[in-house]
Amino acid sequence: MNQIKTPLIVANWKMNGNQLLCRQFSETLECPANGEVWIAPPSLYLETLAVDKKLRNFVRVGVQNVYGKSSGAYTGEVAATMVRESGGTFAIVGHSERRTQFNESDSFIAQKFYASIEADLIPILCVGESLEEREAGLTYAVVEQQLTEVIDTSGIKYFHKSVVAYEPVWAIGTGKAASPVNAEEVHVHIRQVIAKYDDQFIPILYGGSVNENNVGELWEQHNIDGFLIGGASLNPHTLNSIIGEITR
């Protein structure tokens, strides 16, 4: 197993959790000997985790989504500046569920990315293809379009303040993870796209039905720098196991 890389683990709770789960994480989540742990709870619980006396020593807290404007008549939305003021340090943008269920376009996601940068948040930009796109041989083209829209909007200078997460849409919440080889191939392609603009290193995470059984083999791939974890991140014991698999 690769002992050189420093893993980044991002727990995306999605629309799950409550104050009890926040307390369970405070009591149970272990500080990794190597690597970083970030948690994206529903935004209502952002401050609860951000001010927790134990977690704030080794956990970054952020949000699952932000809006692309700093203020205005956008009922129900949350600005990146509000997240920062509430103790958040990162924002997930372009998650496949936002793209598919809420019809968010590449340009709309690029606005959210730039708003996050402007608010001094670290954007985690999610990219990935649908099953139909994969079967049509369009994976690389789709991922490149999603990346270049953001780079063209924000500029590569600001892009380097971000994290990228490859999450094939067909693997989100389905229990079907991409094979380590297939995931590695797309991660390599992502690096090649970014290298067209600049060769500065950007962490690239894999997301898509990651659990304690498959994380070790995925982590062995050279270009996978960590994981964006959904369902398996809702149990602090399971998350401890996953972290242990790749940091021991």
Amino acid identity, residue 203?
A: P
CA distance 62 to 44: 11
Contact between 92 and 9 (Cβ < 8 Å): no
Buried b (16+ CB within 10 A) or exposed e, 148-171: bbbbebbeeebbeebbbbbbbbbb
Task: Exactly one of 97, 149, 167, 184 is catalytic; name it.
Answer: 167
- Picking from 197, 114, 107, the residue whose alpha carbon sits closest to that of residue 145 is 107
Whether 167 is catalytic is yes
Do 227 and 242 contact (CB within 8 A), yes or no? yes
Q: Which of 95, 104, 133, 245 is catalytic?
A: 95
CA gap 242, 209 in Å, rounded = 12
Are 149 and 114 a contacting pair, CB within 8 Å?
no
Active-site residue 184, yes or no? no
Which residues are known catalytic residues? 95, 167
